[in-house]
Amino acid sequence: MNSQSGEPPTMETATTRRGFMEWFSWALLGLGSVAMAIPILGFFLGPIIKPRADEWVDFGPLADFPQNSTRLVDVLNPLRGANDGMTGKVAAYVRRIEGETFQIFSTHCTHLGCPVSWFKESGLYMCPCHGGVYYEDGGHASGPPPRGLYEFEHRVEQDRLMVKLGHLPTLQDPGSAHVSGKNS
């Protein structure tokens, strides 16, 4: 047995070695935690790290929309997930003013998002929740809504009406028409 290797280390080497081990242990724990936290946090923040933009949807041939009238159109939400079932559908009111001039409205009331119903008899949209009412052109008619109906961007392509939608419109993130500054 070599007596030297069995000897306790001197105070000095012990402190530095211990100090290093202490520092190293904490650093290792910190590094491991950060490395683990990044993907986990990233997962939870996923919906905002990689937001999905609205997409164009075919609303059907122009002939489906009589001039100067409003009707409800059901489509599949282009941003729907594989397991969305019926919630993967989305509806929008299409108002054909004339020719290729349209207004596409979200069905969500701008007050708190309840579904508005269209009454062609009086040319009004009415909301059952808190009594928001809108005119035919989406403008605010009465009740608590802070603004007119949300609108979606549209274009006509080979005699078919195309509408850009997908996300749930809210006050600070309204429909695609407002983002492009068309009707806002």
Partner 1 sequence: MKQAIGKLLWWFEERLELRTSLWTVMRHPIPRDLRTQVGWLYVFGSTAMTLLVLQIVTGIGLGMVYVPSAGEAYESLEHINYNVELGWMLRAIHNWSANGMVVLVVVHMTQVFLMGAYKYPRELTWMIGVVLFLLTLGMAFTGQVLRWDADSYWGLGVGAAMVGRIPYIGPELVELMLGGPSVGADTLSRFFALHVFVLPGLLFTSLAVHLYLVVRKGISEPPKPDDLVDPETYIEKYEEKLKTGDPFFPDVFLRDAAFIGLTLLVIVGMSAILGPDGPGAPPDPTLLAVEPLPDWYFLPAFAVLALSPPSLETGIILIAPVIIVAVMFLFPVFAGKGQRSPRRRPVAVLTVIGCFLSYCVLWQLGVQEPWSPHMTAWSGVPVPTHMIKGRTPKELQGAAILQEKTCRNCHALDGLGGERGPDLTEVATRLTRDQLIRQVIQGGGNMPAYGKEMNRFEVEALVSFLETLKPEGYASAESSVVTDRAD
Q: Which residues bind partner 1 (CB under 8 A)?
A: 45, 47-48, 51-52, 54, 72, 74, 77, 79-91, 107-108, 111-117, 119, 121-124, 126-131, 133, 135-136, 141-146, 166-168, 170-173
Strand partners, 22: none
- For partner 1, the closer of residues 39 and 81 by Cβ is 81
* Smallest separation, CB 33 to partner 1 (Å): 21
Query: What distance in Å separates the CA atoms of residue 159 and residue 74, rounded to the nearest whole number?
Result: 19
E runs forming strands in 41-177: 55-61, 69-76, 89-98, 101-106, 117-119, 124-126, 133-135, 140-142, 151-157, 160-165
* Smallest separation, CB 165 to partner 1 (Å): 9
Query: What distance in Å separates the CA atoms of residue 68 and residue 124, rounded to the nearest whole number?
Result: 14
- For partner 1, the closer of residues 62 and 141 by Cβ is 141
Which tokens is 70 given?
């409003």
Our CA angle for 104, 121, 133, nearest 5°, is: 60
* Smallest separation, CB 147 to partner 1 (Å): 10
* Smallest separation, CB 71 to partner 1 (Å): 12
Question: Among positive and negative, which fits the CA dihedral 32, 33, 38, 41?
Answer: positive
- For partner 1, the closer of residues 30 and 123 by Cβ is 123
- For partner 1, the closer of residues 80 and 160 by Cβ is 80
Tokens 């492009």 locate to: 180
* Smallest separation, CB 18 to partner 1 (Å): 37
- For partner 1, the closer of residues 30 and 128 by Cβ is 128
